[in-house]
Structure 1
Amino acid sequence: MRLLLTSDTHVPTRARSLPAPLLDALDDADVVFHAGDWVDTATLDLFRARSERLVAVHGNNDGAALRAQLPEIARVSLQGVRFAVVHETGPARDRERRCEARFPDVDVLVFGHSHIPWDSHAPGGLRLLNPGSPTDRRRQLFATYLTARLDDGHLADVRLHRLPPRR
C-alpha cells in the first residue's frame, strides 16, 4: 500500500498552486494523509477528488468552512498499523514523550504545523512523522513531503521528497 503524507499546503496564501511532483504522488497513493493548514476549501476538494482514500484534519490556519468538514484528530487502522493525524504537537523538546502519552494506542502519528520535516520514535515505539510543507519551506532549504509503504502490516520505505524551488 502506497502512502503520501503532506501538511501545511497553505494555498493560496503561500503558493498559488500545489507543486506538480506532489500532485503526481497524490495520484499514485493508495492513502493520503494531510495534517492540516489547507487554508482554502478548493485544495481540500482537489485532494478529495484525486485521492483514493484521504485521512485529514484541520489546522490552526483553517477557517470555519474547513473546520466544519475536518476533525482536529483523525484515526485509521491500515493493515493493523494504527495511525493518528493531528496538526500541532507543541514544541520539539519532549515531543516524543508528550505524544506517546496523548496517543497511547497509536503506532504512527502524522503531524504538521512547524513546516519542519521530522521522523523519530518515542521510547514505547510510537513513530512521529512530519512531512514539512510542499509550498512554504520557511527556514528549511527545501519544501517537502513524505511517501511510505505499508507492507504486510509494517511501515517501510519512509522517504522525504525535496521539491525544486518555485519559479
Structure 2
Amino acid sequence: MRLLLMSDTHVPRRARELPPQLLAELPRADVVIHAGDWVDVATLDLLESRSARLIGVHGNNDGPALRARLPEVARADLDGLRLAVVHETGAAQGREARCAARFPDLDVLVFGHSHIPWDTTTDTGLRLLNPGSPTDRRRRPHCTYMTATVTEGALRDVRLHRLPSRTWLPNRQ
C-alpha cells in the first residue's frame, strides 16, 4: 500500500495551486494523508476526487467549512498499521514523550503545523512524521512532502521529497 503524505498546503494563500510533482503522485497513492491547514475547500474537493482514499484533519488556519468536513484527529488501520493524523503536536522539545503519552495505541502519528519535516521514533516505538509543506517552506531550503509504503502492518520506505523550483507559487517567495 503506497502512502502520500502532505500538510500545510495553504492554497491559495501561499500558492495558487498544488505543485505539479505532488499532483502527479496522486494516482500512484493508495492512501493520501493531509495533516491540516488546507485553507481552501477546493483543495479538499480536489484531493477527494483524485484519491483512492483520503485521510485528513483540519488545522488552525482552516475555517468553518473545512472544520465541518474534517475531524481534529483521524485514525485508520492500514493493513494492520495503526495510524492517526493531527495538525498540531506542540513544541518540538518534549514532542516524543507528549505524543507517546497521548497516542499509546498507535504505530504512526502524522502531523503538520510547523512546515518543518520530522521523522523520529519514540521510546515506545511510535513513529512521528511531519511531511513539511509542499507550498510554504518557511525557514527550510525546500518545500516538501513524503511517501511511504505499508507492508504487512509495517511502515517502510519513508521518503522525504524536495520539490523543484517553485514556479507555481506567487512571486512573493
Question: What are the Cα deviations for residues 16-73 of structure 1, in whole angstroms up to 9, with x where unaligned?
Answer: 0100110011221000110000001000000000000000000000000000000000
Which residue number corresponds to residue 79 of structure 1?
A: 79
Higher strand share: 1
Map 1:3-18 onto structure 2 (within 5 A): 3-18=3-18
Counterpart-to-counterpart distance in 1, 2:128 and 2:36: 16
Question: What are the Cα deviations for residues 80-136 of structure 1, in whole angstroms up to 9, with x where unaligned?
Answer: 110000000000001000000011111100000000000000100000000000000
Counterpart-to-counterpart distance in 2, 1:76 and 1:153: 12
2:147 matches 1:147 = yes
Q: With structure 2 as the length reference, what TM-score do the two structures score?
A: 0.95
Give 1:89's aligned amino acid.
T
Aligned-partner SS, 2:69: coil
Counterpart-to-counterpart distance in 1, 2:79 and 2:30: 13
Which residue number corresponds to residue 95 of structure 1?
A: 95
Which residue number corresponds to residue 170 of structure 2?
A: none
Counterpart-to-counterpart distance in 2, 1:7 and 1:166: 17
RMSD: 0.5
Counterpart-to-counterpart distance in 1, 2:27 and 2:46: 11
Aligned-partner SS, 2:82: strand
Counterpart-to-counterpart distance in 2, 1:162 and 1:51: 21
2:52 matches 1:52 = yes
Counterpart-to-counterpart distance in 1, 2:57 and 2:70: 5
- Percent identity reads 71
**How many aligned positions are there?**
167
Aligned-partner SS, 1:68: helix
Counterpart-to-counterpart distance in 2, 1:99 and 1:72: 15
Counterpart-to-counterpart distance in 1, 2:49 and 2:156: 26
Counterpart-to-counterpart distance in 1, 2:146 and 2:130: 8
Counterpart-to-counterpart distance in 1, 2:77 and 2:38: 23
Which residue number corresponds to residue 118 of structure 1?
A: 118
Map 1:55-70 onto structure 2 (within 5 A): 55-70=55-70
Aligned-partner SS, 2:5: strand
User: How much has 1:165 moved relative to structure 2?
Assistant: 2.3
Note the residue ranges of structure 2 that are not aligned, 5 or more in a row. Answer: 168-173
Counterpart-to-counterpart distance in 1, 2:141 and 2:152: 34
Q: With structure 1 as the length reference, what TM-score do the two structures score?
A: 0.99
User: How much has 1:146 moved relative to structure 2?
Assistant: 0.2
Counterpart-to-counterpart distance in 1, 2:98 and 2:27: 34
Which residue number corresponds to residue 156 of structure 1?
A: 156
Counterpart-to-counterpart distance in 2, 1:154 and 1:97: 22
